[in-house]
Structure 1
Amino acid sequence: MGHPIQLKETVLKKVLLGNKTQFEIASDFGVGRSTIGKWLREYKQNGNINLNSKEKRPRDWTAEERISAIIKTGTMTVEEKAAWCRKSGIFTHHLNQWKKDIISAMTLKAAKTTTENEKHFKKEIAALKKDLSRKNKALAETAALLVLKKKAQEIWGEPEDD
């Protein structure tokens, strides 16, 4: 079973720091001590931590690499796409699945954005309705006061200015 390169790098960095024993690091990361020893020997021979001893599996591809692969193969014919996949160590069904995953993620993000916009607009509408209701009440009160003032003037006449 091949381990991801990132795991190898992380484990080797911990070993090289020397803060913990190889046994402790092995139990922390769920890797055998002999495996860590092998990685350490390879590091000492090659002089670098990036241990590309195994080919990358499709599940080890990053999101950027997957998108790049989909873009590169987007305009290829079926035969060209199959040849590119063989060269890259993946199958065409991986490309198809990655494409579906990207589309569903984008759709989900668009739906989430729409939902957030709807929440924002609902809050804004509620605030506007509250403000409108307050202003309607104030307007009704003002109208009532004007009616009372006119009735008082009809009953008692015009007030005299002093």
Structure 2
Amino acid sequence: MALSAETGVHQTTLSRWLRDARSLAPMSDDARRSAPPPSAGARRPEDWTPEQKLRAVTEAAALSERELGEFLRREGLHEAQLAEWRKAALEALGGPARPGYGSAPSRRVRELERQLRRKDKALAEAAAILVLQKKAQAIWGDGGDDTDPETDR
């Protein structure tokens, strides 16, 4: 009771801790050095391999809502994390919507095609202007009218 009052921890908790400590096998110094840290079993979802993520997504897909909750607790995951992995897997399986759309060579080809269309339009406009000039010259002549260039009459 004195330890309970001194530490502020209830007597039943202290008794349970003592009983649990007695049930553990004693460890030698060598075993303590080679033992993994207590948190080694706990893995963060960020540390999972892609294969493990895919396994978790496929296992979770076949579970009911109640079983899914148990699965998430057992694996140490959140439903949002699992949904994110599911979305990433579906996007990877779906492939790109426009194959090769973002690659550098295809961007260069699109840019060159755009320049070619622009220059074709400019060439067509210049050709139309030349045709109109020739027609105007044929209709009105080349300026060789009856007026005298010196007197302008």
State the TM bucket, normalised to the shorter chain: 0.3 to 0.5
- TM score, norm. by length of structure 2: 0.41
- TM score, norm. by length of structure 1: 0.39
- Higher helix fraction (1 or 2): 1
Please say which structure displays the higher CA radius of gyration.
Answer: 2
